[in-house]
Amino acid sequence: MTLIEAKDLCKEYVNEEVKTPVLHDLNFKIEEGEFVAIMGPSGSGKSTLMHILSFLDKISCGKYLFKGKDVSEFNDDQLAQMRSKEVGFIFQAFNLLPRTTVLENVMLPLLYDGVSNNNIRIYKAKQALINVGLDHRLNYFTNQLSGGEKQRVAIARALVNDPSVIFADEPTGNLDSKSGLQVMKILQSLNEEGKTIILVTHERYTAEHAKRILRIKDGVIESDEKVVNRQFAQTSNELIK
């Protein structure tokens, strides 16, 4: 089933009369279960595209269909609803709440997804943390964690709602190579389990962990091809199942 479809999708930022066109007439489809890497040089529009696909931003023209539904005209509340139900985020800067425990961070999306029973929230959050091998850090404050651990908390948070697609914008950008590999391995295994993953990166090596690479340059798609020599993240890590 087609999860994401862009039809002549474009985006321009308008700041005080100054228009900055960033994306131009993009056309592509992403099927359920894919693992797509969006690559391109700095400023090419990768993050902009990801924000649009993940309902954080609105398009300027064209169409964006999600699960066949046109979401171009969605209002703020509907977009929030989509973010809550359909997508999970992993950011380069982790974006965890400070002075808050690991468990609470992971429970956060459930709060806005109408899971009113606290016990269910705790249970689901624990499950997600087991998935990323962090169930021994439940009550740590996020600022007491290493970078790799933080990003795994972020992954657990992205997973907890069981979203249709996970977006990761440079998830390894702030990590050493070992922690980076760990993250890629989790993403790969999530994809094995059927989760659609869209990864933004400017590193070819990281991109090659995906199954397909979409190259963007100056806001247009330069190439769109399958990964031939796919990398598989190998870690000697006992944490990941």
Partner 1 sequence: MNKTSLHLAIRALLAQKTRTILTILGVSIGIAVVIAIMAAGKGLNKMVMSQLEVYSPNTMTVEVKIPSTKKTSNENAMGQATGITITTLKERDLEDVQKHPNIDAAYGMVMGQAIVKYQNESKTSLLMGEGYNLQEVEKFELASGRLFTKDEEDSLAQVAVLGYTMKDLLFGEDDPVGKTIYIKGKPFRVVGVAVKRGAVFGMDMDKMVVLPTKTMQKRILGIDYMQQIVAKARNRDEIKQTVSELEEIIRENHDITDPNKDDFAVNTMEEAANMLSNVVDGLTFLLVALVCVSLLVGGVGIMNIMYVSVTERTFEIGLRKAIGAKNRDVLWQFLTEAVLLTLFGGFFGIILGAILALIIYLVAVSYNFVWVYAVPFSSIILAVGFSAVIGLIFGIYPAKKAANLNPIEALRKE
Ligand X SMILES: Nc1ncnc2c1ncn2[C@@H]1O[C@H](COP(=O)(O)OP(=O)(O)OP(=O)(O)O)[C@@H](O)[C@H]1O
Which member of 47, 105, 172, 188 binds Mg ion (CB under 5 A)?
47
- Closest by CA to 48, choosing from 11, 94, 7, is 11
Kindly compute the dihedral angle of the four CA atoms of residues 223, 227, 229, 234, in this order, to the nearest 10 degrees. 130
User: Cβ of residue 23: shortest distance to partner 1, in angstroms?
Assistant: 15
User: Cβ of residue 155: shortest distance to partner 1, in angstroms?
Assistant: 13
Contact 215, 40 (CB under 8 A): yes
User: Cβ of residue 237: shortest distance to partner 1, in angstroms?
Assistant: 27
Helix, strand, coil share of the chain (percent; to 5): 35, 30, 40
Interatomic CA distance for residues 147 and 174, integer angstroms: 7
Interatomic CA distance for residues 75 and 167, integer angstroms: 21
x/- letters, 198..237, toward Mg ion (CB under 5 A): ----------------------------------------
| Inter-helix orientation angle 102-111/147-159, to 10° | 30
Interatomic CA distance for residues 154 and 159, integer angstroms: 9
Report if residue 14 touches partner 1, rule: CB under 8 A: no
Report if residue 22 touches ligand X, rule: CB under 6 A: yes
Q: Determine the interface stretch with Mg ion among 41-49, 53-61, 77-85, 173-181 (rule: CB under 5 A).
A: 41-49
168-207 positions binding partner 1, by CB under 8 A: none
- Closest by CA to 57, choosing from 71, 39, 37, is 71
Query: Could you tell me which residues are beta bridge partners of residue 15?
Result: 18
51/67 with CB nearer Mg ion: 51
Encoded tokens for 169: 């914008």
Total residues contacting partner 1 by CB under 8 A comes to 24
Reduced to 3 states (helix: H, G, I; strand: E, B; else coil), residue 202 is coil
* The entry of Mg ion, ligand X, partner 1, none that residue 91 binds, CB within 5 to 8 Å by partner kind: partner 1
Report if residue 105 touches ligand X, rule: CB under 6 A: no
Interface residue list for ligand X (CB under 6 A): 13, 15, 20, 22, 40, 42-48, 202
Residues in contact with partner 1 by CB under 8 A are 51, 56-57, 76-77, 80-81, 83-85, 89, 91, 93, 95, 97, 99, 108-109, 111-113, 116, 157, 161
Binding interface with Mg ion (CB under 5 A): 47
